[in-house]
């Protein structure tokens, strides 16, 4: 005699199952997070070209616009990338918001005896994420559209634009704080994404923790090296 299970024969679609479940939403966050992480690795490596002078850096920026030609029209590859990234950011943020709301509601009455729970990187995931989202807005207004750029923004001359931004004290502060937040976010986020996608486990624990730490450190150090280089006059 088989016991009746809850609606074995009527299953919702995969999208509904994913979006309707806490594990599904975390899966969306893990995948979108990894897409953004992959982009950041390429972005950081591209940024390092600034150390080889204005012609190389500006040439690289120009090449990005010709990427995929002649199959793709001018700048199409860049726009495809932008659409994918915006989708990843939006999905990541929406899931984080919904899950956070749910987590708060799961403990309506808190403990009288308070103590710090989990590691610093884990505790700062939510506020760190908000800081990063605000940073992205400023970063695009500063160096992509030029709306919030200090001095005259020159399209097609990213080398000079970067030097201009990092010649202001607030440009350096905002950028460095955001990159430290990024490192902490990746430190917990990368390892966490692996657990959510089910690829972690006791055997891979050390490899995943090390990879998360190396990625977090390399990205933070790589990005921060540029404002430091402008401040010290290595780039300028």
Partner 1 sequence: MRLTLRVWRQPDADTPGAMVTYAVDGISEDMSFLEMLDTLNEELILKGDEPVAFDHDCREGICGACGVVINGDAHGPERTTTCQLHMRHFEDGDTIDVEPWRAGAFPVVKDLVVDRSSFDRIIGAGGYITAPTGSAPEAHATPVPKPDADFAFEHAECIGCGACVAACPNGSAMLFTSAKVNHLNVLPQGAPERETRVLDMVAAMDEEGFGGCTLTGECATACPKGIPLPSITAMNREWLRATRKVAR
Among 44, 112, 213, 216, interactor with partner 1 by CB under 8 A: 112
CA–CA separation, 102 and 61 (whole Å): 42
Nearer to partner 1, 46 or 200 (CB): 200
- Per DSSP, the three-state class of 111 is coil
Q: Cβ distance 82 to 92 under 8 Å?
A: no
CA–CA separation, 129 and 149 (whole Å): 23
CB 26 to partner 1: min, Å: 6
- Per DSSP, the three-state class of 75 is coil
Which region among 95-103, 142-150, 161-169, 217-225 touches partner 1 (by CB under 8 A)? 95-103
What are the CB-based long-range contacts (under 8 Å, 24+) for 226-233? Answer: 226/47, 226/48, 226/50, 226/162, 226/166, 227/166, 227/171, 227/172, 227/175, 227/176, 229/50, 229/51, 230/162, 230/163, 230/166, 230/167, 231/166, 231/172
Rule CB under 8 A: is residue 206 a binding residue for partner 1? Answer: no
CA–CA separation, 152 and 136 (whole Å): 21
- Footprint of partner 1 on 30-69 (CB under 8 A): none
CB 73 to partner 1: min, Å: 37
Rule CB under 8 A: is residue 1 a binding residue for partner 1? Answer: yes
Q: Cβ distance 166 to 223 under 8 Å?
A: no
Binding mask 147-186 for partner 1 (x = CB under 8 A): ----------------------------------------
Rule CB under 8 A: is residue 198 a binding residue for partner 1? Answer: yes
Rule CB under 8 A: is residue 130 a binding residue for partner 1? Answer: no
CB 2 to partner 1: min, Å: 5
Count of residues binding partner 1 (CB under 8 A)?
55
Nearer to partner 1, 19 or 138 (CB): 19
Which residues contact partner 1 by CB under 8 A?
1-3, 5-6, 8, 11-14, 16-18, 20-27, 99, 102-115, 117-119, 122-123, 125, 188, 191-192, 194-202, 205
């Amino acid at each position: 005699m088989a016991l009746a299970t809850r609606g074995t024969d009527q299953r919702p679609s995969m999208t509904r199952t994913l979006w309707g479940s806490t594990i599904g939403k975390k899966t969306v966050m893990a995948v979108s997070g990894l897409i953004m992480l992959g982009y950041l690795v390429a972005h950081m490596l591209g940024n390092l070209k600034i150390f080889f002078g204005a012609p190389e850096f500006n040439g690289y920026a120009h090449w990005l616009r010709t990427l995929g030609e002649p199959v793709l029209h001018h700048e199409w590859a860049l726009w495809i990338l932008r659409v994918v990234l915006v989708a990843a950011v939006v999905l990541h943020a929406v899931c984080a918001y919904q899950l956070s709301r749910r987590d708060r509601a799961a403990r309506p009455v808190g403990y009288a005896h308070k103590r710090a729970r989990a590691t610093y990187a884990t505790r700062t995931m939510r506020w760190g994420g908000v800081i990063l989202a605000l940073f992205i807005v400023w970063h695009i207004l500063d160096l992509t559209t030029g709306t919030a750029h200090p001095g005259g923004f020159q399209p097609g001359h990213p080398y000079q634009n970067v030097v201009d931004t990092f010649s202001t004290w607030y440009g350096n502060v905002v950028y460095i704080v955001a990159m430290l937040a990024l490192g902490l976010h990746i430190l917990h986020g990368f390892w966490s994404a692996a657990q959510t996608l089910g690829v972690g486990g006791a055997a891979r624990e050390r490899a995943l923790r090390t990879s998360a730490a190396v990625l977090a450190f390399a990205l933070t150090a790589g990005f921060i090296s540029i404002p430091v280089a402008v401040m010290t006059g290595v780039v300028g």
